[in-house]
Structure 1
């Protein structure tokens, strides 16, 4: 048999062997290697390489082997796109670790995870009590996806009955001391506005490492000199303070007047401003 043919056969053989060994070792090997497992993996790869290439050191044999190792994952990727059954076998499927708040011990044993390791994965998701979890699944990548019970999830604007505005992508308008005109235009701003905002901060463009415009049109700046302090944007806090003052003034006018109709008018409008204030406060607070 020609040497190049032997290299091809050995390459395919050891790809299959290494794949099966990895499947046996489980998902844990993908993201959580101990020192022993890391050394073992390197050793297995080295042994496979030596066996595959242990012929006469011919350079072309190495080229053929590299081509095999590079082309097989590509072919497997194409087949995975076409067949879910093949994809599930090669890439694996998620394994449920917690369901309805109960730990699935059999699935833990199947993936060779201990209770301590499960708790460690939960802590990485900022979850410190199993009872807080509704559902948790170990993904094929070895990462743990966690769904908290409804009462333990962070409160959202929807939960509070508030209408949340859609946030736009922050636009980077200065990078390395250079103004980026396209992002500046995307943010609905121009160079004159940018210069005015920098003047407020007493900062020149050349001293700015990075500057961004957020959803609300506020400019945030990071300078080359980290020792210099740049004041935070004050537009939103100032607007919030003005609305609060307007609401307080209307209430004060309502108390100060003797006219019943005028008192009702001031009070009615004060209530309207208060409703607006309640809706805007979450967005205007820094």
Structure 2
């Protein structure tokens, strides 16, 4: 049992390092080649953990071999559009000028339910509101609604609001983010002063966000009953 526990810990760090080398993607954003590599890695690690008669090196070497292949393929796809299309495929236009291309739908084996589910996920419930839609190589659908169905922007209304960065997290569960303070050009002296003025200490703060020295939000921790 102890051997299985130790092997599991070692392989956990090996897989973590391998995934970091492959890059940061959500599961739904994986290209076909990346999905294949991910599935193979999981099978290799499972065998190595379950069967202690298999040497650890027999699990580690295939993992980094597959990761090396993935990194190489990624490099080649960056250098060559032809290779990129061969490995990952290409995007397909499903809706153009508000008209559904049923031939492309059949090629991609997309059902009408798949299409409507993807539209609803982007807050579009009426096909009449869609100008065009593209099936990406990851299997997701990108949608461009018709101009008449898009809420007016400040520019459309002739307004010119100031462009500002969104608020950043300064305190999370009583811990201060020094990187966020530096980003806003603030320091601990300012932070302590603001928190004290709110009648609390830093350890009493659940969340504190700030956009500028004069614009901030403080949410205190709830007291235990």
Matched residue count: 184
Matched, 1:121 2:118: yes
Matched, 1:132 2:129: yes
Give the TM-score normalised by the residue count of structure 1: 0.54
* Structure 1 equivalent of residue 50 of structure 2: none
* Structure 2 equivalent of residue 250 of structure 1: none
The higher-RCO structure (CA 8 Å, 6+ apart) is: 2
Structure 1 residues not aligned, in runs of 5+: 1-29, 32-41, 51-56, 229-286
Does the CA contact (< 8 Å) of 1:167 and 1:215 recur in 2?
no
Q: Which has the higher strand share?
A: 2
* Structure 2 equivalent of residue 237 of structure 1: none
Matched, 1:204 2:201: yes
Within 5 Å, which residues of 2 pair with 1:238-249?
Answer: none
Distance 1:200 1:63, change over 3 A: closer
Give how far 1:190 is off.
4.8
Distance 1:60 1:131, change over 3 A: same
Superposed CA offset, 1:152-176 (max 9, x none): 1122111011112111242333234
Give how far 1:60 is off.
6.5
Distance 1:78 1:164, change over 3 A: same
Q: Which has the higher helix share?
A: 1
Structure 2 residues not aligned, in runs of 5+: 1-26, 29-38, 48-53
Distance 1:106 1:226, change over 3 A: farther
Distance 1:194 1:73, change over 3 A: closer
Distance 1:203 1:106, change over 3 A: same
Within 5 Å, which residues of 2 pair with 1:116-265?
Answer: 116-180=113-177, 183-184=180-181, 186-191=183-188, 193-214=190-211, 217-225=214-222
Secondary structure in structure 1 of the residue aligned to 2:138: coil
Give the TM-score normalised by the residue count of structure 2: 0.66
The one of 104, 107, 119 equivalent to 2:101 is 104
